[in-house]
Structure 1
Amino acid sequence: MNLEIELKKKIISNVEELVSLKCKQIQSDFKLNMIEFNLDDPDLKQNLSRISSSAGIYFFEADMSKFYDSRIDSMTKIDSKIRDNFLSGLEDIWQKYKKGNTPSFSIKKAKNFFNLRRNLNSFKNGWVPLYIGKINNSDANEDVPRGINGRVLEHIFGTSNSG
Structure 2
Amino acid sequence: MAALDNPSDSKHPVILTDLELGSVMDVKTSKSKRKKSQWCSAINCTNGRYECPGLSFFRFPRDEERCKKWLINCRRQDLLCKSPRELYTSNVLCAIHFEDSEYTDPHRRNRLKPLKAVPTIFNIPNPPPKFANRRPAPRKRKIIATGEQNSPSSSLQPVSTEDPSSPGL
Question: Which range, TM-score by smaller chain?
Answer: under 0.3
Q: Going by fraction, where is strand more abundant, 1 or 2?
A: 1
TM-score by length of 1: 0.26
- The structure with the larger Rg is 2
Q: Going by fraction, where is helix more abundant, 1 or 2?
A: 1
Instruction: Report 1 or 2 for greater relative contact order, CA contacts < 8 Å, sequence distance ≥ 6.
Output: 1
